[in-house]
Amino acid sequence: MEISHQFNFLTSEAPDLFKLLNNSAIKFGATEISKKTGHQIRFRITEANDFWPLFQPWVGKPHIDHHVETYFADDEILNADWLRAISTFSFGYPQPEDSWVTRPNNYEVICSKCGIFKQISPFHINREPRLGKYQFMSLEWTGGILFTIPMVIESLRINEIGGFETWNAIIHKTGLPAQSISQIFTPNLSTAGLVDIDELPRTLCSVCGTTKYEYHRYGTMKYKKMSLPSNIDCIQTNEWFGSDHFAYHEILVSHRFAELIIKNKWNGVRMKVVEPI
């Protein structure tokens, strides 16, 4: 497991951090904004780096834009019983693009304030996507939605991967199903299983009372073992994630599903370990 931190800041607002960075062996990017403002600085550092203890106190400081992400090695993924499947490649927007955010044509909107929903029909897309080296993709604005190519669908079926349905993606102008991709639709929800919820950043919707958690970036996601099924390979979390109007369920997949992704070197999806408790 590698935990990586990204920092962005202006030299005029954090001169001491810039001095620390300059005196370290860490590579960074710099873009001059103006003579008065100075440079926009951006760099990454992992917690395994010897310099990390010097930079850790800067997390959460004013004027510092900080993001953290966790990456798992293939052997860690292959040794896990359950994982989060997260899209790393998106192509285009749901259609009609100019109105989908406020009036999604394939969602039953449950709360217009926090954005929780139920998908009731296929997504419409602008055209057949060009996936290139990717076998999985998502659409912008859609969170935990996954699409994949026919070869992957066939492989999942041959290997008896259960818990998903294949939904068409519709070319918006023609109303016909796309030939190059289909949605991996996961109709089942787990029971509430997120652990240590009192310690997780979250918001409570003032209209519908739904709790939404921030995107889980640090370490493994801890989940109650009893909430994870033994008879299917794909499920959505009971919990909602996101911020403001944006909401989504996480897609959880079994070891068998993840093993196929690693073995076949399918691109466009990242596996993150779930720790059953």
Asked if the model's pLDDT at residue 5 lies above 90, the reply is yes
Final residue in a domain of this structure, among 45, 71, 97? 71
Domain count, the chain: 2
Cα(182)–Cα(168) distance, integer angstroms: 5
81, 59: one domain: no
Segments of the chain assigned E as strands: 2-10, 29-34, 38-46, 65-71, 82-87, 107-109, 117-119, 124-125, 136-137, 146-148, 165-171, 177-185, 202-204, 211-213, 221-223, 234-236, 240-241, 251-254, 269-276
User: What's the CA dihedral at 64, 70, 73, 79 to 10 degrees?
Assistant: 160
Q: Residue 129 is encoded by which pair of tokens?
A: 């996507």
The reported pLDDT for the residue numbered 36 is: 86
65, 81: one domain: no
Query: pLDDT by residue (tens digit) across 228-240?
Result: 999 999 999 999 9
Cα(241)–Cα(47) distance, integer angstroms: 26
Asked if the model's pLDDT at residue 143 lies above 90, the reply is no
143, 16: one domain: no
Cα(221)–Cα(11) distance, integer angstroms: 35
174, 235: one domain: yes
153, 243: one domain: yes
Final residue in a domain of this structure, among 41, 71, 101? 71
157, 271: one domain: yes
Q: Residue 272 is encoded by which pair of tokens?
A: 């993150």
Q: What is the domain range of residue 11?
A: 2-71
Confidence of residue 222 (pLDDT cuts 50, 70, 90): very high
Cα(45)–Cα(221) distance, integer angstroms: 22
Final residue in a domain of this structure, among 48, 71, 94? 71
Query: pLDDT by residue (tens digit) across 30-89?
Result: 999 998 889 999 999 999 999 999 999 999 999 999 999 999 999 999 999 999 999 999
Give strand pairing partners of 275: 222
180, 233: one domain: yes
Cα(189)–Cα(229) distance, integer angstroms: 10
Asked if the model's pLDDT at residue 121 lies above 90, the reply is yes
The reported pLDDT for the residue numbered 78 is: 97
Coil/strand/helix, residue 15? helix
249, 124: one domain: yes
Asked if the model's pLDDT at residue 99 lies above 90, the reply is yes
Q: What is the CATH number of the domain that holds 39?
A: 3.30.70
The reported pLDDT for the residue numbered 237 is: 97
51, 183: one domain: no
Coil/strand/helix, residue 147? strand
19, 99: one domain: no
Coil/strand/helix, residue 69? strand
111, 209: one domain: yes
Backbone angles phi, psi at 64, to 5 degrees: -110, 120
Q: Which of 259, 269, 270 is nearest to 136 (CA)?
A: 269
165, 220: one domain: yes
The reported pLDDT for the residue numbered 197 is: 85
**Average model confidence (pLDDT) for the chain?**
96
